[in-house]
Amino acid sequence: MPLTHEQIEALAEHLEEAQLTATPVTKVTDTYPAMDHDDAYAVQDAIRRRKVDRGARIVGLKMGLTSFAKMAQMGVESPIRGFLPDEAQVAEGEPIPTTWLIHPKIEPELAFVTSAPLHGPGCTIEQVLQATARVHPAMEIIDSRYENFRFDLTSVIADNTSTCRFVVGEAWIAPGTLDLAAVEVELSVDGVLAHRGTAAAVLGDPAASVAMLADMLAARGEHIPAGTLILTGGITAAVPVAAGQVVAARYSAGLGELTVAFS
């Protein structure tokens, strides 16, 4: 953990300013090549504190880079976790303005809502399913604060895993009623198919993503509380979006279609 408290606070301010002013910045590892993942999570935590101090609520947690499509797309090698502030949440059907975004991309996901606490280490898929109330279709809009959406793992952790906006569909299914890994999704932009995927792309089963989050939190003496919303990670590669476009994700398993319009 080579960074000082002051350096961590300065990086958090730098990255949050980049977000709030929609101005891309150089990677934090360009300035501090020796910083490690613990430093990066400390920067993420400092961004979280800045937002909470200004009155934001944390409405959920997310996992990222949980699919091979995403790891390959971004050139990084392991999953990461982040937080979802209320300012990122968009209601289903509400258009998303792109004015204050840098270079947004969208990806289809499954969102879990827990009904009981989940503790690691060694959290299992069975424990996750036992502790899950609902599984919803979701879309995440990611917007890296780094130039050209290019980063390494340390830099993207510090940047709260590119979190920008997210939409959780009102439709839901109860876990246990079907094989979540078999859920299929088709992502289309203005009616043209962009990607097709199966939820098994997310660590073999999206419930494994929640289990991994519980284990990651356990390493810091934390857990997933009951009532937590969790985005489990993009099922397909993410696609760039622009004002005027309409993106639809059509899910199997009775989860329906989730549409997001950009203005």
Residue 120 site contact among Mg ion, ligand OOG, none (CB < 5 to 8 Å, cut-off depends on kind): none
Shortest Å, Cβ 226 to ligand OOG: 23
Task: Name beta bridge partners: 114.
Answer: 132
By CB under 6 A, name the one of 8, 19, 42, 64 that touches ligand OOG: 64
Residue 140 as a binder of ligand OOG (CB under 6 A): the answer is yes
| Phi, psi of 125, rounded to the nearest 5 degrees | -60, -40
* C-beta closer to Mg ion: residue 10 or 59: 59
* C-beta closer to ligand OOG: residue 39 or 107: 107
Kindly state the greatest CA–CA separation across the chain.
50
Shortest Å, Cβ 128 to ligand OOG: 17
Shortest Å, Cβ 6 to ligand OOG: 27
How many CB atoms lie under 10 A from the CB of residue 235? Answer: 28
Starting at the edge strand that comes first in sequence, how are the strands of the sheet with 246-251 ordered? 192-198, 184-189, 246-251, 257-261
Strands 163-168 and 184-189: unpaired
Residue 168 as a binder of ligand OOG (CB under 6 A): the answer is no
Shortest Å, Cβ 40 to ligand OOG: 13
Residue 70 as a binder of ligand OOG (CB under 6 A): the answer is yes
Residue 74 site contact among ligand OOG, Mg ion, none (CB < 5 to 8 Å, cut-off depends on kind): ligand OOG
Helix H or strand E segment including 17? helix 5-21
Using CA atoms, how far apart are residues 28 and 115, in angstroms rounded to an integer? 37
The encoded tokens of residue 167 equal: 């939409």
| Phi, psi of 30, rounded to the nearest 5 degrees | -70, -35
Amino acid at 103: H
Q: Which residues bind Mg ion (CB under 5 A)?
A: 64, 140, 234
Number of residue whose CB is nearest Mg ion: 140
| Phi, psi of 155, rounded to the nearest 5 degrees | -65, -40
Residue 162 as a binder of ligand OOG (CB under 6 A): the answer is yes
Please state whether the peptide bond connecting residue 175 to the residue before it is cis, i.e. omega within 30 degrees of 0. no
| Phi, psi of 209, rounded to the nearest 5 degrees | -70, -40
Shortest Å, Cβ 70 to ligand OOG: 4
What Å distances lie between residue 194 and 135, 165, 189, CA to CA? 24, 20, 6
Residue 142 as a binder of ligand OOG (CB under 6 A): the answer is yes
Shortest Å, Cβ 66 to ligand OOG: 6
Q: What one-character DSSP code corresponds to residue 184?
A: E
Residue 241 site contact among Mg ion, ligand OOG, none (CB < 5 to 8 Å, cut-off depends on kind): none
The binding track of 100-119 with respect to ligand OOG, each residue x by CB under 6 A or -, is -------x------------
Residue 65 as a binder of ligand OOG (CB under 6 A): the answer is yes
Residues of the shown chain interacting with ligand OOG in the complex, contacts defined by CB under 6 A: 64-66, 70, 74, 107, 140, 142, 144, 156, 161-162, 233-234
